[in-house]
Structure 1
């Protein structure tokens, strides 16, 4: 994704530039804690409020080349326009600290919900990816439905069943669903069930329930794939830490449009290049075990990184105990929002 923002400078020094948009419109990423931008090398964007943007050097003292890049962007305090490319990150611990009670729109039951990116539900196009967690009460059911946006879904804790044939759901199971493809019911087991829905973009993702009149009128053409992986098993800590080299394993794949779900396993302090983001429609990296290091931040269990298709590359780096991460590559398709 690229974004053009017209900005005027408010304050400039060697380590920080503060901008206010001339049109005072809301900035993108209103729920994302941080976006990394290639406006100048080693620069990060922190959202402080709806109409202000701060670019701050991630190093104590920017080198001369970096200062020149900053100066070019704000020379003469004139309005500038820059095309920005983004990588989104969210710490699982940070997201879960904001867990809240939500009401299922299909049943009216209360359970727990957590937002990682974007709104919890949307009926129109918006900026950036959308990722949410649902944690169901024991034996709670989610009735059959479909969404208007293609997604991967990970069943990460607890247990349950899927569909009328009661396919077992155990952690960790990967599910892929094309847009406008019905699935369900999902029924939680006696210890509850946690799952994460991840979409590459914010679109019309409101659930459309099959027990409501008119649902057929909202269907659109789709490949109608509804795929689930074998259960993913994770390494014990010393085995993961001592792994000699990175290993990739395929869980789901369709060469016709680039859809590919993999797990990558890295020992302590290792790194490996992620897939080419432009090969399909970008991908998520989800921490299933260990930690992921990005921009000097160590991201713990259930953290996410979103790599959009216009990025040049992304390096997956493990922390001191190693990393097992799901790498979920989305298919090439027309947006449906």
Structure 2
């Protein structure tokens, strides 16, 4: 499966979501869908943007699917970690994290999952937790390069800000001069006859410049998903070069299958 997340989709789906967490103040978040592939329980890659208002607090919680979050604007904290642009946070399925606290500037972040999920489960609802391995990663801040810098790069580079682990989790930042090909390393195919091959699924998000390929031109914050069973399209940087974050997504742990 190869699918794309676009700004046009996001602009058409942005909406206000009033929320009131137990014992807290009422808030109005905004949400927009950048990538939407339905609700298949095995593979349905999803990317949505959350705009969290200033001084709001989302309680410590967990999800039933693996997920990345990409914090690119505003300030705040997630648990004991300060948040500043650009921060990448990963939480595996049934791994608690938070609270997620927005500072005076609010927070904007993408939530990125290989499988659709609706809502969060507060960590206080212990009866919904399942025993199994817990997985965290937190990297950043990562500097975002201006197109003027990218255009003058002598060659393409790939920086492993979270080196690829045995379970398939990794974060790489690629910087490409104009016209250069995106040639990242990819984790091995790790599926078998009885489980969906999620190890090696890859999300790409453009941070600066543009990326061309497969009939697409992806600008800042637009994205692509390439499942482990598919070849990476022949992406090249546009006229302003490109800075791209590659999010390698591990297969959901066997305990939660």
Residues 230-309 of structure 1: pairs in structure 2 closer than 5 A: 230-276=140-186, 278-279=188-189, 280-309=199-228
Answer with 102-111 or 253-262: which moved more.
102-111
Indicate how the Cα distance of structure 1 residues 233 and 131 shifts in structure 2: closer, same or farther if over 3 A, else same.
same
User: Residue 100 of structure 1: CA displacement?
Assistant: 0.9
User: Residue 187 of structure 1: CA displacement?
Assistant: 1.1
CA contact (8 A) 1:175 1:226 kept: yes
In structure 2, what is the equivalent of residue 328 of structure 1?
Answer: 247
CA contact (8 A) 1:93 1:300 kept: no
User: Residue 278 of structure 1: CA displacement?
Assistant: 4.6
CA contact (8 A) 1:289 1:301 kept: yes
In structure 1, what is the equivalent of residue 236 of structure 2?
Answer: 317
CA contact (8 A) 1:160 1:193 kept: yes
Unaligned runs of 5+ in 1: 1-85
> What is the aligned counterpart of 1:113 among 31, 46, 63?
31
User: Residue 192 of structure 1: CA displacement?
Assistant: 1.2
Whole-angstrom CA distance in 2 between matches of 1:293 and 1:188: 34
Q: How many residues align?
A: 244
In structure 1, what is the equivalent of residue 78 of structure 2?
Answer: 162
In structure 2, what is the equivalent of residue 206 of structure 1?
Answer: 119
Task: Kindly name which structure, 1 or 2, has the bigger radius of gyration based on alpha carbons.
Answer: 1
Unaligned runs of 5+ in 2: 190-198
Larger relative contact order (CA 8 Å, sep ≥ 6): 2
- TM-superposition CA deviations, 1:232-275 (whole Å, max 9, x none): 00222211111121111112235221211111000111112233
Indicate how the Cα distance of structure 1 residues 239 and 254 shifts in structure 2: closer, same or farther if over 3 A, else same.
closer
Secondary structure at the aligned position of 1:96 is classed as helix
Indicate how the Cα distance of structure 1 residues 277 and 104 shifts in structure 2: closer, same or farther if over 3 A, else same.
farther
CA contact (8 A) 1:148 1:206 kept: no
> What is the aligned counterpart of 2:87 among 150, 167, 173?
173
> What is the aligned counterpart of 1:96 among 1, 4, 11?
11
Q: TM-score, normalised by structure 1?
A: 0.67
User: Residue 223 of structure 1: CA displacement?
Assistant: 2.5
Whole-angstrom CA distance in 2 between matches of 1:300 and 1:268: 14
User: Residue 182 of structure 1: CA displacement?
Assistant: 0.7
Whole-angstrom CA distance in 1 between matches of 2:128 and 2:51: 27
User: Residue 93 of structure 1: CA displacement?
Assistant: 4.5
- Alignment of 1:87 with 2:2, yes or no, is yes
Residues 127-166 of structure 1: pairs in structure 2 closer than 5 A: 128-163=44-79, 165=80
